[in-house]
Amino acid sequence: MPEAAALCAQAVKEHRQGRLDRAEALYRSALSADARHIPSLQGLGAVCLQKSRLGEAAGCLEKAAALAPNDPSILGNLGFVLNRLGRAEEAITPLRRAVELAPASPAPRTNLAIALMETGRLEEAQRGLDQIVARHPELPEPYNILGSLHLRRGDLDAAVSAFGQALALRRDFPEALNNLGNVLSRQGQHARALESYRRAVALAPGFAAAHFNCGTALAELGRHGEAVGCFARTLEIDSRHAGACNNMGNSLLALGRAGEARAAFERALAISPGHAPAHLGLGISLTALGHLEEARAAVAHALERDPALGQAAGELFRLSARLCIWDGLAGRRADLALRCREGQKIDPFAMLHASDDPALQLLAGRNSAPPPVRPPRAAVDKDRMRVGFLSADFCEHPVAYQVAELIERLDRGRAEICGLCIHPSPPADAMRTRLTKAFDRFAAVGHLGDDEIAAGMIEDGIDIAVDLTGHTRYGRLGVLARRPAPVAAAFLGYSGTTGAEYVDYVIADAVVAPSESAFSEKIVRMPHSFMPADTTFAVPAPPSRAEAGLPPRGFVFCSFNQAEKLTPEMFAVWMRLLAEVPGSVLWLSASAPARPNLCAAAAARGIAAERIVFAGRVEDRASHLARLALAGLYLDAFPYGGHTTSNDCLRAGVPVVTMTGRSFASRVAASMVTAAGLPELVAADPDSYAALALALARDPVRLASLRERLARPSALFDMAAYARAFENALETMWRRKLRGEAAQSFSVD
pLDDT at 636 over 70: yes
Q: How many other CB atoms sit within 10 Å of the CB of residue 213?
A: 25
Mean pLDDT (the chain) is: 95
Residue 734 DSSP SS3: helix
Q: Residues 20, 47: contact at Cβ < 8 Å?
A: yes
State pLDDT tens for residues 273-282.
999 999 999 9
Range 371-375 average pLDDT: 92
| DSSP secondary structure of 440-452 | SEEEE-TTS-HHH
Q: Which helix (H) or strand (E) holds 363?
A: helix 358-368
Q: Residues 714, 676: contact at Cβ < 8 Å?
A: yes
Question: Is 701 exposed, middle or buried, given 0-12, 13-18 or 19+ CB atoms closer than 10 A?
Answer: exposed
State pLDDT tens for residues 45-54.
899 988 888 8
| DSSP secondary structure of 515-563 | -STT-SSEEEEESS-S-----SSPPPPP--TTTTT--SSS-EEEE-S-G
- What is the Cα–Cα distance from 40 to 544, expressed in whole angstroms? 91
Window from 426-430, 433-437, 653-657 with minimum mean pLDDT: 426-430
Question: Which residues are bridge partners to 387 per DSSP?
Answer: 417, 464
Residue count (the chain)? 749
Q: Residues 355, 336: contact at Cβ < 8 Å?
A: yes
Question: Which residues are bridge partners to 444 per DSSP?
Answer: 421
State pLDDT tens for residues 310-327.
999 999 999 999 999 999
Question: Is 606 exposed, middle or buried, given 0-12, 13-18 or 19+ CB atoms closer than 10 A?
Answer: exposed
> What is the predicted pLDDT for the residue at 718?
98
Distance of alpha carbon 374 from the chain centroid:
21
> What is the predicted pLDDT for the residue at 508?
98
Range 298-321 average pLDDT: 96
- What is the Cα–Cα distance from 584 to 578, expressed in whole angstroms? 6
- What is the Cα–Cα distance from 324 to 669, expressed in whole angstroms? 22
Distance of alpha carbon 78 from the chain centroid:
44
Q: Residues 371, 335: contact at Cβ < 8 Å?
A: no
Q: In the 3-class helix/strand/coil scheme, how is 596-619 assigned residue by residue?
A: HHHHHHHHHCCCCHHHEEECCCCC
- What type of residue is 465? A
State pLDDT tens for residues 660-714.
999 999 999 999 999 999 999 999 999 999 999 999 999 999 999 999 999 999 9
Residue 708 DSSP SS3: helix
Distance of alpha carbon 474 from the chain centroid:
8
- What is the Cα–Cα distance from 664 to 408, expressed in whole angstroms? 27
- What is the Cα–Cα distance from 629 to 632, expressed in whole angstroms? 8
Cα distances (angstroms) measured from residue 209 to each of 11, 234, 411, 500: 32, 7, 53, 32
Question: Which residues are bridge partners to 489 per DSSP?
Answer: 466, 505
Range 590-597 average pLDDT: 92
> What is the predicted pLDDT for the residue at 156?
93
Q: In the 3-class helix/strand/coil scheme, how is 165-177 assigned residue by residue?
A: HHHHHCCCCHHHH
Confidence band for 419, pLDDT divided at 50, 70 and 90: very high
Strand ranges of the sheet holding 487-490, from the earlier edge strand across to the other edge: 441-444, 415-421, 385-391, 464-467, 487-490, 505-509, 522-526, 746-747
- What is the Cα–Cα distance from 461 to 484, expressed in whole angstroms? 9
> What is the predicted pLDDT for the residue at 33?
87
Confidence band for 527, pLDDT divided at 50, 70 and 90: very high
> What is the predicted pLDDT for the residue at 104?
84
Q: Which of 455, 507, 496, 460 is nearest to 478 (CA)?
A: 455
> What is the predicted pLDDT for the residue at 1?
56
Which residues touch 424 (CB under 8 Å, ≥6 apart)? 224, 254, 255, 256, 446, 447, 474
- What is the Cα–Cα distance from 546 to 550, expressed in whole angstroms? 5
Question: Is 84 exposed, middle or buried, given 0-12, 13-18 or 19+ CB atoms closer than 10 A?
Answer: middle
pLDDT at 305 over 90: yes
Q: Which helix (H) or strand (E) holds 344?
A: none
CA 250, 209, 158, 119 torsion-angle sign? positive
| DSSP secondary structure of 210-275 | HHHHHHHHHHHTT-HHHHHHHHHHHHHH-TT-HHHHHHHHHHHHHTT-HHHHHHHHHHHHHH-TT-
> What is the predicted pLDDT for the residue at 83?
87
Confidence band for 84, pLDDT divided at 50, 70 and 90: confident
Report the share of the chain in percent with pLDDT over 70: 100
Is omega for the bond preceding 655 within 30 degrees of 0, making it cis?
no
pLDDT at 89 over 70: yes
Residue 510 DSSP SS3: coil
Confidence band for 749, pLDDT divided at 50, 70 and 90: confident
> What is the predicted pLDDT for the residue at 99?
87
State pLDDT tens for residues 144-178.
989 999 998 889 999 999 999 999 999 999 999 99
> What is the predicted pLDDT for the residue at 729?
98
pLDDT at 64 over 80: yes
Q: Residues 394, 424: contact at Cβ < 8 Å?
A: no
**Can you state the angle between helices 430-438 and 398-409, rounded to 10 degrees?**
30
- What is the Cα–Cα distance from 4 to 567, expressed in whole angstroms? 80
- Cα angle 28, 29, 33; round to 5: 115
Q: Residues 320, 311: contact at Cβ < 8 Å?
A: no
| DSSP secondary structure of 631-681 | -SEEE--SSS--SHHHHHHHHTT--EEEE--SSGGGSHHHHHHHHTT-GGG
State pLDDT tens for residues 250-281.
999 999 999 999 999 999 999 999 999 999 99
Q: Residues 398, 531: contact at Cβ < 8 Å?
A: no
Report the share of the chain in percent with pLDDT over 90: 83
